[in-house]
């Protein structure tokens, strides 16, 4: 590891290079100094074809966000062939950390919602991957891969996956068209950096946007407001949602609300499976969030819209 540090330091004329805490992504980050300023080095330890595509997406989406007046890290130097990018250091204060340091909860969430409201008015980048059929779209069946076995004592059989897919098909068949646009794909408090005061587009910056998609607009908002890692006060959820939806007519709002519930529940079904898998892999810190995810799903299943899904879970003996 020391040799790698030295190699990176020599390549970018950095000193005091030190690793930052890893997340669930394939990337690794380091903070270092150069000429009295702090920078972030983004690396891909396994720079295979998947990593190359991930880096290209990062660069493309970052440029699009910048062009659309969204604050993102400045690229200081990029060595694309090696999977290395030197970035502006936006500091260590995520939106979550800002609230823990005294920033008012409503102010923080309204700001994050305002950024999304701005983004929904921007035409998505050309050739942005589609949400439909993406990992995010397909992985909500992880509730059967990792959560259901803990209740049923056995792996989920293929017929169960087929019945689960049919329940969702029945739900979505009767829905109006969902509004589409740019979606960040992982829009939560740790991926929004707090820079200070001023309008939302100046005081907040986005990171971890490389898996952005063109898809259903309610996805990012429900990801933010029904956070897998934090409880958001109901009045704050309502206020941010009303701000985001201001100006919609009755039909537009009905479509948005219906898809907000569908996408939110699919999100929770995916993440509860992911967190159980991570816990099984030795990352115990994710287990603490599972009761929250169970509560989100249990509450959603009381909605008439999701009656086919509730019947499926009841018949399969899967409870929350």
Where do the structural domains in the chain lie, given as residue ranges? 2-88, 95-316
pLDDT of 100 over the 50 cut: yes
Residues 267-287, mean pLDDT to the nearest whole number: 94
Q: What is the pLDDT of residues 170-187, one digit of tens each?
A: 999 989 999 999 999 999
Q: How sure is the predictor about 26, in pLDDT bands with cuts at 50, 70 and 90?
A: confident
pLDDT at 150 over 90: no
| Radius of gyration in angstroms for the set of CA atoms belonging to the chain, rounded to a whole number | 21
Q: Look at residue 4 in the predicted model and tell me its pLDDT.
A: 65
Q: What number is the average pLDDT over the span 107-112?
A: 97
Give the per-residue pLDDT at 3.
Answer: 43
pLDDT band of residue 1 (cuts 50, 70, 90) is very low
Got the DSSP string for 62-121? HHHHHHTT-B-PPEEEEEGGGTEEEEE---S-BHHHHHHTT--HHHHHHHHHHHHHHHTT
Mean pLDDT over 27-31 rounds to 92
Residue labelled with tokens 């009905």: 254
Mean pLDDT across the chain:
93
Share of the chain above pLDDT 90, in %: 84
- At residue 96, does pLDDT exceed 90? yes
Percent of the chain with pLDDT strictly greater than 70 = 98
The pair phi, psi for residue 17, each rounded to 5°, is: -70, 130
**What is the pLDDT averaged over residues 137-151?**
94
Q: In the CATH scheme, what architecture does the domain 2-88 have?
A: 2-Layer Sandwich (3.30)
Reduced to 3 states (helix: H, G, I; strand: E, B; else coil), residue 264 is helix
- Taking a C-beta distance cutoff of 8 angstroms, is the pair 75, 59 a contact? yes
Cα dihedral sign for 33, 36, 40, 46? negative
* Confidence check: pLDDT of 2 > 70: no
CATH fold label, 95-316: Aminoglycoside 3'-phosphotransferase; Chain: A, domain 2 (3.90.1200)
């Amino acid at each position: 590891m020391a040799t790698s540090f030295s190699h990176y330091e020599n390549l970018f004329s950095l000193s005091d290079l030190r690793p930052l805490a890893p997340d669930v992504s394939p990337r690794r980050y380091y903070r270092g100094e150069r000429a009295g300023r702090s920078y972030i080095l983004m690396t891909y330890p396994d720079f295979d074809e998947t990593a190359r595509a991930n880096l290209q997406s990062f660069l493309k989406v970052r440029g699009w966000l910048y062009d659309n007046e969204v604050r993102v890290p400045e690229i200081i130097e990029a060595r694309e062939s090696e999977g290395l990018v030197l970035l502006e250091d936006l500091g260590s204060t995520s939106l979550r950390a800002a609230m823990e340091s005294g920033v008012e909860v409503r102010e923080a969430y309204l700001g994050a919602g305002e950024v999304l409201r701005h983004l929904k008015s921007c035409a998505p980048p050309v050739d942005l991957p589609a949400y439909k059929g993406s990992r995010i779209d397909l992985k909500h069946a992880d509730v059967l891969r990792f959560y259901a076995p803990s209740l049923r004592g056995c792996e989920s059989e293929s017929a169960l996956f087929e019945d689960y897919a049919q329940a969702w098909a029945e739900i979505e068949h009767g829905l109006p068209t969902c509004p589409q646009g740019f979606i960040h794909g992982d829009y939560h408090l740790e991926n929004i950096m707090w820079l200070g005061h001023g309008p939302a587009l100046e005081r907040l910056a986005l990171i971890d946007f490389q898996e952005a998609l063109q898809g259903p607009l309610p996805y990012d908002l429900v990801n933010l407001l029904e956070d897998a890692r934090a409880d958001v006060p109901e009045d704050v959820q309502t206020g941010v949602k009303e701000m985001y939806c201001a100006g919609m007519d009755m039909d537009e709002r009905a479509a948005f609300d219906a898809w907000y519930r569908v996408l939110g529940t699919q999100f929770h079904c995916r993440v509860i499976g992911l967190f159980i898998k991570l816990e099984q892999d030795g990352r115990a810190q994710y287990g603490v969030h599972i009761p929250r995810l169970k509560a989100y799903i249990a509450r959603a299943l009381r909605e008439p819209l999701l009656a086919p899904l509730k019947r499926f879970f009841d018949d399969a003996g899967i409870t929350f």
